[in-house]
């Protein structure tokens, strides 16, 4: 999409990619619920968190306040053509 708008209009763009965003008020039972709210919900019920596989995998998580901060910072930064940042 960046290329679509950038080439004909000569717009500078920035793309922010977020991985496994979690935070307050996230529904642990929702269709797209992240693992952290599920773990917290299970722990609050006195249950053990369910870990799939052998537990040796790792994932990156991004707290919602960091997403907000990244969005605000990106608005005030000079952009470069087709700049894409992963926010983790």
Q: How do residues 61-81 score in pLDDT, each as one tens digit?
A: 889 999 999 888 888 877 666
* Number of folded domains that form the chain: 2
For 18, list phi and psi in degrees, rounded to 5.
Answer: -115, 145
Residues 53 and 27 in one domain: yes
pLDDT at 49 over 80: yes
Residues 27 and 4 in one domain: no
Residues 29 and 45 in one domain: yes
d(CA 82, CA 18): 17
Q: pLDDT averaged over the chain?
A: 77
Helices (H), the chain: 2-9, 35-44, 64-75
Range of the domain at 54: 22-59
Residues 81 and 66 in one domain: yes
- Give me the pLDDT at residue 40, please: 84
């Amino acid at each position: 999409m960046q290329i679509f708008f950038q080439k004909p209009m000569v717009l500078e763009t920035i793309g922010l990619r977020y991985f496994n965003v979690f935070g307050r008020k996230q529904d642990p039972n929702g269709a797209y619920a992240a693992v952290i709210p599920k773990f917290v919900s299970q722990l609050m019920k006195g249950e053990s968190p369910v870990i799939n596989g052998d537990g040796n995998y790792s994932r990156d998580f991004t707290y919602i306040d960091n997403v907000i901060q990244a969005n605000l910072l990106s608005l005030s930064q000079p952009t470069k053509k087709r700049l894409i940042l992963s926010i983790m």
